[in-house]
Amino acid sequence: MRTSLYIGLALLFCVLSPSAAWSQSALDQYERGLLAERAGEVMKAKDYYTRAINMEQGNGAFYLSRANLILKNQNHSELFKSSNSFNIYLKCLEDYNRAVLLLPESFESHFGRAKVNYIIGNFAGAKVDYNNAIKMSHYFEDKIEALIGRGASQFKIGEIEGALRDLERAEDYDSTNVKVLNELALIYIHMGQHDVALTTLNKVLVRYPNDPIANANVGYSALKLGRFEKAMDIYNRCLKANGPNALIYSNLGFCKFKLGRLTGALKNLNEAIRLDADNTFALKNRALVHLALGNKELACEDLHESRDKGYSRQFDSEVIELLGEHCLQVNIKPAQ
């Protein structure tokens, strides 16, 4: 449905444009981009969208499609290989900025920009964009997704009451929504209400017993309570059921670190970083293991990289504090 909307928007811009020849050619490139994207040819689609934009820079649908393509293909190695992911997301954000400017009433423009802002750690900006997306939403599914996003953003900036209101409102719309229930459970764990969190997660696990996020959250609850052996058992079962997962390996490694099993911890954290090189939490955890093993230079390399990739924006000041405590006298070059 939205694809046909984009084509309609593109056609409207082309009709209104004074450069009819350029516009027709731009629309042709855009339509080729849509076909390539449907066929799974991500790089080809990106090239077609870029050509369309270069030919007709006043068409918001072109920017929106290119930004959405990037956001949908975050694990596409070729798309992200030419630069670090943060810079790719910044370029994606530029496209959404243009889309919002040219299509100010578009739900997808505001929603997409909110998602990118959340990814790069601009949670206050994400909250504003999700708020606008809620206003622009015409379907319950869209409203629910935007409420989840705004709730998660508020949780990240410490606005717990607002986060709970949004997520509970989303739950009223869809009481079985897995994303809503998992986000609510995380907040309950943060508040120390582990029984409530587990009751919430059981609503997911009754229907989807192998849901990786719900199982990870059950393990996280055990981890926060200091029940590291129990958490490890949950994480191992989750890996067996669902396959490799960077978050699970990171938390599993942290549990082993807390239990003094440093070799196993390092192995798990290496795997987490192999799966997701931008996992700032895993980098921080691996630094803790290196420190425990007496490998200060390796620890400081990980801490610098974790900092440079946005740990403080995503979580808290722990990496900065560790750098100040352990790395001021270490003669290493910070990660670029």
User: pLDDT tens digits for 16-43?
Assistant: 444 444 456 999 999 999 999 999 999 9
Spatial distance between the Cα atoms of 163 and 144, rounded to a whole number of angstroms: 13
Spatial distance between the Cα atoms of 27 and 257, rounded to a whole number of angstroms: 56
Q: 29-35: list long-range contacts, CB under 8 Å, 24+ apart.
A: 29/55, 30/59, 30/61, 30/62, 30/65, 31/7, 33/65, 33/66, 34/3, 34/6, 34/7, 34/65
pLDDT at 211 over 80: yes
Q: Identify the three-state secondary structure at position 105.
A: coil
Q: What is the mean pLDDT of the chain?
A: 89
pLDDT at position 5 is 52
pLDDT at 314 over 90: no
Tell me the mean pLDDT in the region 105-130. 96
Which CATH code, of 2.40.50, 3.30.160, 1.25.40, 1.10.10, is assigned to 256-336? 1.25.40
pLDDT at 150 over 70: yes
| Percent of the chain topping pLDDT 70 | 88
CATH 1.25.40 boundaries in the chain: 1-72+84-103, 256-336
- Supply the CATH classification number for the domain 1-72+84-103: 1.25.40
Q: 270-273: list long-range contacts, CB under 8 Å, 24+ apart.
A: 271/244, 272/246, 272/247, 273/246
